[in-house]
Structure 1
Amino acid sequence: MVDGREDRAIAILDAFADSTGLSGEMPPRRYLWTDAFAVSTWLGLYLSRGERRFLDLAKRLIAEVHEVLGAHNPDPAHPTARGLRIGKRLPERAAGEPYDPDLEWDRDGQYYHYLTRWMRALERAGRVANDEHYRAWAVELAEATHRHFVHPRGIYWKMSVDLSRPLVPSQGMHDPLDGLMVTATLGLATEARELARLCAERRWATEDPLGAGGLLLDALGLARLVAEVRTDLEALLAQVLEDCAVSLAGVAQEDFVGLRAARRLAFRELGLALGLHAIAPLGEHADVALLERYVPLAKALEDFWLQSANQAASTWTAHADINSVTLAAALAPRGSLL
């Protein structure tokens, strides 16, 4: 049976490929976070539809990301060995230049949470394409990221492109958890052990929709690790599940669904929608009774942002790439749930 929501996702990603130079004549416009979601979604579409072109698009995007955002890596055989830059429109802040918190959002560098997202995309590509190169690149990226971002007191949020200096030394709320989940999945024992130490005694609840969605995806990954080999992560999984319930309750109380599109950020809401799709497979490994009541919110969010009138809002057009790709990921979530 043809899935109409998958058809919408396919159309969105085809337009994205054209407008960002992956297909057609436009110059390449790459952004690591957005491209990670696109790769995962195309991998899922390949599994769902069996059409080779989706796998080819995912592989082509990986190659272009490594060429454009990894241009500082000197060895093409190891395109992730020195990390991957964000893809921001402004160059990074120079050494000695005063810190401007507003301008920093538009400056390049390397983000820890973008790099962990790309590691996941590469690991999935390795499994789906049955190609160990992708997994090897994920491992090299994880090792380099851990070596430069992680320090005894935490994780730098943003580093310079050459990884020589922190640009924003504070730690993202879920960065230790994201890092633990992906390094454990890749079998990096030392890195996972050090990140597990940073996760100890922490709480993860958030009222940010995107953060809540990411927490649900981490819960699914942790649950699978516990079910397979990592029983030492059972207590952490229990805490994450508890904080998922707290987060969803908090997000639901915000009542943003009743606001106009001009007062909402699509990619944050659609990141939540994507995470809500993780609840069903999470239920194969854990009790999700406190989470299931929120699942219908995913469709409500997706339907709202599918409307052309809402996509005309400035909050959509100002972030069109990330909004559209996150919508596609939510409409066709299989790849992000691998």
Structure 2
Amino acid sequence: MQLFNPHIAKQAIIHPSTYTYARLVSKAQTSTMALPTCSPSPRLDRFGQAMESLYGNFSSIDDPPNWIPPPRSGGHRGRYLWTDAFGVVNFLTMHSEYRRTGNDTIGDDRYLILAGRLIETVHDILGRTRDGHSRLRGATDANPLSGGLRIGKTDAHGTDGDGQYHHYLTVWMFALNRMAKASGDVKYNRQAVELAKAIHPRFFVDRAAARPRMIWKMSMDLSEPMVKSEGNLDPIDGFVVFRLLQATAMEAGDGAVLTEEIDDYRRTMERKGEHFVSSDPLDLGMTLWTAHWFSGRERWAADLAGKCFEQIYNLFEINQYLERNIRFRLAFREFGTCMGIQCQSEMNAEKESVDLKCYSDAIIAAWDPYMQLSISDDLTPVDLRPITRVMYASALIPGAFQAGFLGREPIATPWE
């Protein structure tokens, strides 16, 4: 079944010239203000520095199994679901990268253990009411994720207050799935499936109808909608992440545990028709990241990746995005673009013809000096620093966000 209108992804691939690359980096390094000298440290070093700015000095942790993550994630009681989801995946990247490069001077599985401790801490804080006295409605000690997970907003009330976002929850499910793959412990994928089954019906309206629709934001206890509009990327997020969870479950012998839920997303995507690709850098990057999981074998995802490439070209070449004053840009949103570009570029068999990495390199070149200075107050609001730092690390090295980075991926059931 074809969801989108015919549009071959390879026809939309941009081939930036050497001149284009040089011009982009030059613009990034000279636009609007003088930049400090870039650090010559390798990307993995800068990756680690960004992570330590949130989670502390890793080499000084004497007892990783009892580590308590510092409350620095920028949310309520120090935890914010999006930031910590990226933190978990980044820990898995560090675990793999240090072993792969032979730079693991610590010589143990501490990054894997720290990822597990961060998961436990998030479940214990964001899986409970704001006062910490009880689990969210529907959750029990045996099933701690059956009430979902709070966003972690600092304010309790209002449309921008605490609640539950579908797209935050799917990123957390993805982090749990990656933890299952990196550790070999399927309990993490089972936790993700538990969370998926708990929150899924709450975010749907007319779920049993031929044309269901979704809700952007639910209350903390999932009892009522806070924002009734439908997120642009939510159906595709669910369709992709739930298929990854189910593929892992089937490989572990748990069966096709999310078939009905996956079909709900499929019907929602069909109702929406051709997917709108936003020019917002974060939405654009996350769309490309989501598509890369299936762009090599399913037409809908290849078409979507092609539309993303067109939007990237328009953003950087037609609209001259990198020439904008950096004071009016948000680094973490651009880091989402970097991650999406790198994941998709690595998946294509003809790297020489799809090398869009010059754009992600130009973004890194623009922001790297400021990240090395830990981001000055006049560039990024204090409450955005944690998300900026953790996404900076993911932009430098997407690692475990990328399909195949942790080894062979279980084959998801093809979309019929």
Matches within 5 A, 1:229-244: 234-244=298-308
1:55 partner letter: L
Q: Where does residue 243 of structure 2 map in the other structure? A: 184
Match of 2:356 among 255, 280, 294: 294
Task: Report the CA distance between 1:24 and its aligned residue.
Answer: 5.6
Question: How far apart are residue 259 of structure 1 and its match?
Answer: 2.6
Mapped partners of 1:175, 1:254: distance in 2: 27
**In the alignment, what sits opposite 1:258?**
323
Q: Contact conserved, 1:262 with 1:313, CA < 8 A, in 2?
A: no
For normalisation by structure 1, the TM-score amounts to 0.86
State whether structure 2 residue 313 is matched by structure 1 residue 249: yes
> Would the alpha carbon gap of residues 255 and 191 (structure 1) be closer, same or farther in structure 2, given more than 3 Å must change?
same
**Residues 144, 114 of structure 1: alpha-carbon distance in 2 compared, 3 angstrom cutoff:** same
Whether contact under 8 Å (2:291, 2:302) holds in the other structure is no
SS at structure 2 position matched to 1:147: helix
User: Is the 8 Å Cα contact of residues 92 and 161 (structure 1) preserved in structure 2?
Assistant: no
Q: Structure 1 segments of 4 or more deviating over 3 A?
A: 21-28, 287-290
- The answer to whether the 8 A contact 1:219-1:282 is kept is no
Query: 1:280 & 1:25 partners in 2: Cα distance?
Result: 35
Matched, 1:208 2:208: no
C-alpha contact (below 8 Å) 1:44/1:334 kept by paired residues: yes
Task: Quote the RMSD (CA, aligned, Å).
Answer: 2.3
- Is 1:171 equivalent to 2:235 in the alignment? no
Distance 1:168 1:25 in 2: 28
Asked if structure 1 preserves the Cα contact closer than 8 Å seen for 2:92 and 2:400, the reply is yes
Q: Secondary structure at the residue paired with 1:223?
A: coil
Percent identical: 32
Q: CA deviation at 1:289?
A: 8.0
Say yes or no: does 1:218 pair with 2:290: yes
Alpha-carbon distance change, 9 to 22 in structure 1, aligned in 2, over 3 angstroms: farther
Quick one: distance in 2 between partners of 1:22 and 1:263? 36
Query: In 2, distance between residues paired with 1:326 and 1:22?
Result: 21
59, 66, 75: which one aligns with 2:116: 59
Structure 1 or 2: more helix by fraction: 1
Contact 1:120/1:182 (8 A) holds in 2: yes
Name the SS of the counterpart of 1:312 in structure 2: coil
Preserved contact between residue 166 and residue 217 of structure 2 (Cα < 8 Å): yes
State how far apart, in whole Å, the 1-side matches of 2:148 and 2:224 are.
Answer: 13
Tell me the equivalent position of 2:96.
Answer: 47
* Alignment match, 1:122: 176
- C-alpha contact 1:261 1:313 (8 A) present in aligned 2: no
SS in 1 for 2:294: helix
C-alpha distance in 2, partners of 1:131/1:310?
36
Quickly say closer, same or farther: Cα 1:314–1:76, change in 2 above 3 A. farther
Q: Describe the superposition over 1:64-120 as per-residue Cα deviations: whole angstroms up to 9, x where unpaired.
A: 110110013442342221110000011134xxxxxxxxxx23x00000110011010
Q: How many residues align?
A: 313
| Corresponding residue number in structure 2 for 1:32 | 81
Q: Give unpaired runs (5+ residues) of structure 2.
A: 1-40, 58-66, 129-134, 207-211, 247-257, 404-416
Structure 2 residue matching 1:307: 3-state secondary structure:
helix
Aligned to 2:38: none
Structure 1 residues 16-45: Cα deviation after superposition (integer angstroms, max 9, x where no partner): 0139x9546879511001111111111011
1:324 & 1:212 partners in 2: Cα distance? 19
The counterpart of 2:218, out of the listed 159, 182, 201, is: 159
Q: Does 1:312 align with 2:376?
A: yes
Larger Rg: 2
The CA distance in 2 between the partners of 1:240 and 1:11, in whole Å, is 34
Aligned position for 1:195: 265
CA contact (8 A) 1:267 1:323 kept: yes
Q: Of 325, 329, 338, which aligns to 2:390?
A: 325
Contact 1:248–1:294, Cα closer than 8 Å, also in 2:
no
Tell me which amino acid in the other structure corresponds to 1:115. Answer: L
Cα distance change of structure 1 residues 25 and 176 upon mapping to structure 2, 3 Å threshold? closer
Q: Distance in 1 between matches of 2:172 and 2:345?
A: 24
The 5-angstrom pairing of residues 271-282 of structure 1 reads: 271-282=336-347
Residue of structure 2 in register with 1:97 after alignment? none
Supply the AA of the counterpart residue of 2:47.
A
Q: What is the TM-score of this pair, normalised by structure 2?
A: 0.70
Comparing 246-255 with 40-49, greater Cα deviation is found at: 246-255
CA contact (8 A) 1:214 1:272 kept: yes
Deviation at 1:223, TM superposition (A): 3.1
- Spell out, residue by residue over 1:148-196, the C-alpha distance to the aligned partner (whole angstroms, 9 max, x if none): 1022331110000110000001011111000100111122211111101
CA distance in 2 between partners of 1:241 and 1:213 (Å): 10
Larger RCO, structures 1/2 (Cα 8 Å, 6+ apart): 2
Report the secondary structure of 1:46's partner residue.
helix
